[in-house]
Amino acid sequence: MIVVMKLDASPQEVDAVKGRLESLGFKIHPIQGVKRLVLGAVGDRKVVSSLNLESFPGVEKVMRIMKPYKMVSREAKEEDTVVRVGNVEIGGTKVVSMCGPCAVENEEQMLHIARVVKEAGGQILRGGAFKPRTSPYAFQGLEEDGLKMLARAREETGLPVVTEVINPQDVELVAQYADMLQIGSRNMQNYSLLKAVGMTGKPVLLKRGLSATMEEWLMSAEYILAEKNYNVVLCERGIRTFETYTRNTLDISAIPLIKSLSHLPVVVDPSHATGNWKLVAPLAKAAVAAGADGLLIEAHPNPPEAMCDGEQSLSPKNLQRLLWELKPFLKAVGRN
């Protein structure tokens, strides 16, 4: 449930409500909106009817959240959440571009593409140091050495870094280097991992699972928010369907639908959604038109020689062209 406090509620009145709820075993999530303070309370709903919280001074109303996901819902927070990654805001008026290679291969490659991303106007640098692959014989990433290369690229360009973490035991290590932790589609329902990244307080990029429903996706985000980490960005990256001409099928309807259900920002990964670099630009434009708050785009200095996902990676020239071509689409939907 959520407890809506009056605009003029005193800190003592707020503490009294929190204290009463906590005494009954509720976990409290204060949500400070533009117009109101809301106390999200998660606990045993059997005792809710006997609480009579409306009689407490400073309480405006009490509302039960009917959806299975609580803190990620629009019922808990009306205003859009803005997640800050370094000096970049995701979820505001700007559409953020997060660009870089599927995998960190060496320092020269990483510094090269970081400079390209910076020059093209990208705001966040992406790159995988840990790579969960379908085949156990495929390149698995450089691990901590790759994290150090990402940190070096950030030092030179000033771009904050997002990279994937795949095991709970690696969360602390990755959090030392990354500005944002990515949960890949294969780990969307790895609940121990979700709890671990939630406890870091770091911004989290949560990708939709290969065959996950939107409710399952939002419930995974709920795991992170339940750890009182509200810095979550959802990423639609295509789902598995019967179609074989593309790697996945981009669910463009997920963007406006999720934004109607949740206050969390939504970004789109057109690279994994298609598996074909020639389709990345049109789907990126469609995502912006549908209301996406950002784009996650794979780019590589030399895609044919990439150790991972070269067929869906943009060359430096094509990345620059795409970010330039997006400008009229941004203007048309009132974004920057």
The 10s digit of each residue's pLDDT in 62-72 is 888 888 898 99
Angle (deg, nearest 10), helices 144-157 and 107-120 = 40
Contact (CB, 8 A) for 73 and 262: yes
Q: According to the model, what pLDDT value does residue 49 have? A: 63
Mean pLDDT value across the chain: 93
The predicted-structure confidence for 42-54, as pLDDT tens digits, reads as follows 877 666 666 788 8
Position 29 pLDDT exceeds 90: no
For residue 8, pLDDT over 90 is answered with no
Per-residue pLDDT band for 156 (boundaries 50, 70, 90) equals very high
User: What pTM value is reported for the model?
Assistant: 0.92
Strand order in the sheet with 27-32: 27-32, 37-42, 2-5, 59-63
For 302-321, the pLDDT digits (tens) are 999 999 999 999 999 999 99
Output the six-digit token pair for 222.
Answer: 């709920």
**Greater pLDDT, 234 or 7:** 234
> Where do the domains of the chain lie, and which CATH numbers do they carry?
2-63 (3.30.70.1140), 83-332 (3.20.20.70)
Cα angle 271-274-277, degrees, rounded to a multiple of 5: 60
Which residue did the predictor score with more confidence, 260 or 5? 260
Residue 87's pLDDT is: 95
Q: Nearest to residue 152, comparing CAs of 109, 120, 121, 116?
A: 109
Q: Which of 214, 134, 220 is nearest to 183 (CA)?
A: 220
For the stretch 205-260, pLDDT in tens is: 999 999 999 999 999 999 999 999 999 999 999 999 999 999 999 999 999 999 99
Summarize pLDDT for 272-292 with one digit per residue, the tens: 999 999 999 999 999 999 999
- SS3 at position 185: helix
Residues above pLDDT 90, as percent of the chain: 75
Helix, strand or coil, per DSSP, at residue 83:
strand
Cα–Cα distances in angstroms (integers) from residue 245 to residues 13, 24, 92, 167, 279, in the given order: 59, 55, 35, 32, 11
Residue 38 has pLDDT above 70, yes or no: yes
Is the model's pLDDT at 157 over the cut of 80? yes
**Rounded mean pLDDT of 76-85?**
93
Query: CA end-to-end span of the chain, whole Å?
Result: 36
What token pair was written down for 282? 């049109």
**Above 90 in pLDDT, residue 139?**
no
Residue pLDDT, tens place only, 89-132: 999 899 999 999 999 999 999 999 999 999 999 999 999 999 77
Report CA dihedral (154, 227, 103, 326) to the nearest 10 degrees.
Answer: -70
At 137 the pLDDT is 65
> 309: closest CA among 52, 104, 114, 151?
104
